[in-house]
Structure 1
Amino acid sequence: MMSFHLIITKKQKPILLLSIIQLIYLFSILTKSQSTLCRTSCGSIPIQYPFSIDDGCGSPYYRFILSCSDTQKLELRTPSGRYPIHNVSYIDPHIVVTDPFMWNCEDGVNYRPTRPFSLDTSTRFKLSSQNQYIFFNCSEEKVIVKPKPVFCEQFPEHCDSSCDSASYLCRHLPECSFAMSGSSCCSYKPKATESLRLMLEYCTSYASVYWRNVGAPQLYDQVPQYGIRIDFDIPVTTRCLQCQDQSKGGGGTCGFDTQTQSFLCLCKEGNFTTHCNDHENARHSRNVHVIAGTVTAISAFGALGIGGGIWYLKKMKAKAPVTCGVQSNENRLF
């Protein structure tokens, strides 16, 4: 049987040894950072289930959706780009994002070109019905721009084909000290998102406004604010409830295995399949102290392969916002 031997010269030995030590050190840093529990905030915004900013935490339905920048700014990843997140509500499940390409008060009549905004249909996201859209400088040959009759407030289903040039939002632009009138501004709240894309083809710019609940008396319980409200679902499972149960080991964090996407309860002692006091799997999880099932021990020669694995993981994360999910007309804004 033929055998092979690796011949290393005296000059190469220090270089090879130094490279292996560096790779082992790099992996030890990665392992240490992943072995901690999931981060619970990004800046001033709390991060709770089903979201996460660490892979293997939260629900796999929202994997690679949120990112936290080095400056502690939370962003939403979508197929059309990254959008700053203004706030997250877990009681009334929704997030509010801002589109930097939207019209704002500082623009005035200097309308900037905008771009389409889209959502990933593989997630549990959907555009909120509390959104309303303002369009500027529309072509009246292509778009019906006129004041809506009073009865439209009671029967909005009969008034979906026109853009209201006398709307409250055009007369009281949120956060602006001036108001626009006439055909330069109109508000639109259509049933289908396809018509929103058509509107943008014939209008110069747009702004998204959502009606925020403020808990005031009913006539004044909502105020308009700029942004795009996106509602989301919180998947509730028995395993997740058991994992978070304080009586079962102090409460763990709901997560998943990044290879199989099966449920994991992330605890200080390790990763378990049900809850933190799951002693049945304690022997297995004793060697699994890191999120995503990363091994805690590494041989010197295995470090070479891990260096490539780390590069591949970063490459896959960088592509995630573009390739994750399939777009459809029902989930696109424009």
Structure 2
Amino acid sequence: MGSLFSYRTISESGSSSCFCASYSLLYIIVSLLTLSFFNFITAQSSHCRTSCGNIPIHYPFGIDDGCGSLYYRHILVCSDVDKLELRTPSGRYPVRSINYAESHIVVTDPFMWNCHDGDDFRPTRPFSLDTSTHFTLAPQNEYLFFNCSENDVIIEPKPSFCERFPDRCDSSCDSASYLCRHLPGCPPALGGRSSCCSYYPKATGSLRLMLQYCTSYTSVYWRTVGVAPPFDQIPEYGVRIDFDIPVTTRCLQCLDNSRGGGTCGFDVGSQSFLCLCEKGNVTTYCTDGVSGHKIRIGVIAGTTAVSVTGAIGVGAGIWYLRKVRAKAPVTCGVQSNENRLF
């Protein structure tokens, strides 16, 4: 047959040359695996995307696993079409903007009522946040509820109701609110065929309860603009979510340009802090890691699986080389459990 694995017998000198050929071939294979393995990991170690579409992604967030703060792991998702979404217990919501200076995210909910719906108040789902995360609903949000049951919900003008029942003021849905009378981007009113009231839920449970007695709802937040008060805020549809920025000494050192200007991240396995640098990942800051030989490679998403696979492949190759060397010469053509390559 003429192939490497076809001969059943071979001379003593042939065995020696065959062993050398096998050894050389396997050495080349292992060398190539090793080089490609480490080159791939080094390239991936600095792979933290800094944007999704037109939205910048900076600390404390990351869209690649191992980037940003561990507190916000798997929170933001960048789709194949560069659309950024926020994950919450109630679903995934398109992110309109991230303001790092004021530490808030604005998301939209396609299920909420909007001006285009008019009097078509379709059922919706209540928006919720995971209380274990470092997210909170901003006080700038206001929620407008439509066609609520007056038998189950207190619907009255808030000022007069609060004067009469101050202890129950927080439980009322204000039917005389400014936003109900001036729906952003909508006609002046809903035509008188539907009722509207404004209510700020204290918790997700109260929002869910309100939707049991109301047809639909929408969220409006007050966006700050660069003009003098009292016209420095305008209402827009969406949900504003405030977030915390965890700051540690190690992260500040990592970000310091005089120390290498790395990116704060974490080990996806141990979840311990890592400073992500161009030449690898270190536990302190980039220049310290380079000089102190503390570089750790392969913790960003996509490298963990490759690291395991590559390590197994390289390890198996080294084990086989040692086994072949210990038992040389071998009969090249006999594929037994002792000398098979694959």
TM-score (norm 2): 0.74
CA contact (8 A) 1:290 1:296 kept: no
Between 1:130-139 and 1:177-186, the stretch displaced more is 177-186
Within 1, Cα distance between the matches of 2:97 and 2:194? Answer: 33
Q: Which amino acid aligns with 2:209?
A: L
Give 1:234's aligned residue.
Answer: 245
Q: Aligned-pair distance for 1:219?
A: 1.1
CA contact (8 A) 2:126 2:207 kept: no
Give 1:298's aligned residue.
Answer: 310
Distance 1:80 1:194, change over 3 A: closer
For the residue of structure 2 that corresponds to 1:196, the secondary structure is helix
The answer on 1:34 being equivalent to 2:44 is yes
Give 2:63's aligned residue.
Answer: 53
Q: Aligned-pair distance for 1:117?
A: 1.9
For the residue of structure 1 that corresponds to 2:64, the secondary structure is coil
Give 1:105's aligned residue.
Answer: 115
Within 1, Cα distance between the matches of 2:177 and 2:162? Answer: 11
Identity of aligned residues (%): 65
Within 2, Cα distance between the matches of 1:102 and 1:280? Answer: 51
Larger radius of gyration: 2
Distance 1:296 1:271, change over 3 A: farther
Q: Aligned-pair distance for 1:215?
A: 2.7
For the residue of structure 2 that corresponds to 1:38, the secondary structure is coil
Give 1:126's aligned residue.
Answer: 136
Between 1:264-273 and 1:212-221, the stretch displaced more is 212-221
Q: Aligned-pair distance for 1:162?
A: 1.6
Equivalent residue in structure 2 for 1:207, among 201, 218, 232: 218
Output one character per residue of 1:63-117: Cα deviation in whole Å (capped at 9) or x when no partner.
0000111111100011221100010011110101111110011111111111122
Aligned-CA RMSD value: 3.3
Output one character per residue of 1:28-70: Cα deviation in whole Å (capped at 9) or x when no partner.
9974763333111111111010000000000000000001111
Q: Which amino acid aligns with 2:77?
A: S
Equivalent residue in structure 1 for 2:275, among 265, 277, 281: 265
Q: Which amino acid aligns with 1:288?
A: I
For the residue of structure 1 that corresponds to 2:286, the secondary structure is coil
For the residue of structure 2 that corresponds to 1:271, the secondary structure is strand
Within 1, Cα distance between the matches of 2:135 and 2:262? Answer: 26
**Which 5+ residue runs of structure 1 have no aligned equivalent?**
1-8, 11-19, 305-334
CA contact (8 A) 2:66 2:266 kept: yes
Distance 1:129 1:30, change over 3 A: farther
Distance 1:217 1:168, change over 3 A: same
Give 1:288's aligned residue.
Answer: 297
Output one character per residue of 1:205-248: Cα deviation in whole Å (capped at 9) or x when no partner.
00011111113222111111111111100001000000011111
Q: Aligned-pair distance for 1:119?
A: 1.2
CA contact (8 A) 1:56 1:257 kept: yes
The answer on 1:274 being equivalent to 2:284 is yes
For the residue of structure 2 that corresponds to 1:198, the secondary structure is helix
Q: Aligned-pair distance for 1:290?
A: 5.1
For the residue of structure 1 that corresponds to 2:93, the secondary structure is strand
**Which 5+ residue runs of structure 2 have no aligned equivalent?**
7-28, 317-342
Give 1:5's aligned residue.
Answer: none
The answer on 1:116 being equivalent to 2:116 is no
Output one character per residue of 1:242-281: Cα deviation in whole Å (capped at 9) or x when no partner.
00111112x0000001111111000011111111111477
Give 1:144's aligned residue.
Answer: 154
Within 2, Cα distance between the matches of 1:30 and 1:280? Answer: 19
Output one character per residue of 1:149-186: Cα deviation in whole Å (capped at 9) or x when no partner.
26959x98762222122211111101113423586111
CA contact (8 A) 1:135 1:187 kept: yes
Aligned length: 284
The answer on 1:217 being equivalent to 2:228 is yes
